[in-house]
Amino acid sequence: MNSTFILLILAAGLGGVNNAMNTANTPAHANQTGQIKAEKPIWIDKHNGRRYPLPNSVGGKPASFYLNNPKVSPLAKALYKSLFRPSDNDSTTQLLALVTTKNQEIRPFYRWCLDFTIAISDGALGEYPGKPALAYATTFPLEFFDYMDKDPSGQRYKRWVEIIAYSGLDNYDKAHPKIIETISADMTAKCQSCNSTTRARIKSFAKSVAAAAISQ
């Protein structure tokens, strides 16, 4: 066996080892093209251990846009990072009130904070999201309906209606007609140029809240 033949055998052996090492070091979540799939972040509720998937983007912008934005409240960032859990305290009130900010650029992130809080609400926490949810719906009716429409299952709309009926009507006469009249008037006042379809949706929403309030 000459030296050239021995070198060829050694080269072949080393190539096989390298291929094996490369295969072993390839991440399990990498696809066949070598691209790594982004894993969806998870929010874990420290109170009960429940796990909730977090969005990678909010309002058409990556979550990092808000997390790196100095104008966004540290409380909102802490919620997304699982460093803050809404509960019956002033910090929660402060965070949820931000949903009606006039800053259109970061308002979607505060809306997500409110929507997420509604989703995890139980017990005492349920007393907090109703008022800011109603304030958002009556201040930005077109935005509100657009956001509801992004969930084709209708579950988001159902949750918002129920939480508003539960904890958002403190300043309203809970008589059925009065609820409908007040919510409709408040939303229509912020939607002067709305077409008949949107005005009908406003009335329907007000009726849904009133019906939910009566049944509670």
pLDDT digits (tens, 9 = 90+) for 79-122: 999 999 999 999 999 999 999 999 999 999 999 999 999 999 98
Choice among 2-11, 37-46, 98-107, 191-200 with the minimum mean pLDDT:
2-11
Query: Is the residue at 7 inside a domain?
Result: yes
DSSP conformation class of 42? E
Tokens representing residue 31 in the block: 């696809």
Query: Is the residue at 8 inside a domain?
Result: yes
Which amino acid is present at 175? A
d(CA 190, CA 193): 9
- The pLDDT tens digits for 12-41 are 443 443 443 343 343 344 444 444 445 778
Query: Is the residue at 33 inside a domain?
Result: yes
If one counts the domains in the chain, the total is: 1
Query: Is the residue at 142 inside a domain?
Result: no
**Residue 216 CB partners (closer than 8 Å, separation 6+):** 165, 166
- The pLDDT tens digits for 170-194 are 766 667 888 999 999 999 999 999 9
Return the closest-CA partner of residue 78 out of 61, 59, 98, 60: 98
DSSP string, 117-144: HHHH--GGGGGSSHHHHHHHHHHSHHHH
Query: Is the residue at 188 inside a domain?
Result: no
Query: Is the residue at 4 inside a domain?
Result: yes
Query: Is the residue at 5 inside a domain?
Result: yes
Q: Which residue has the tokens 């291929």?
A: 19
Query: Is the residue at 17 inside a domain?
Result: yes
Q: Is residue 146 scored above 70 in pLDDT?
A: yes
Domain enclosing residue 10, as ranges:
1-37
pLDDT class for 66, splitting at 50, 70, 90? very high
d(CA 86, CA 196): 38
State the pLDDT at residue 141: 98
Task: Tell me the C-alpha to C-alpha distance, in Å, between residue 93 and each of 43, 44, 86, 122, 150.
Answer: 20, 21, 9, 16, 26
CA angle 81, 115, 183 (to 5 degrees): 155
DSSP string, 133-176: HHHHHHHSHHHHHHHHHT-TTSHHHHHHHHHHHHHS-TTS--SH
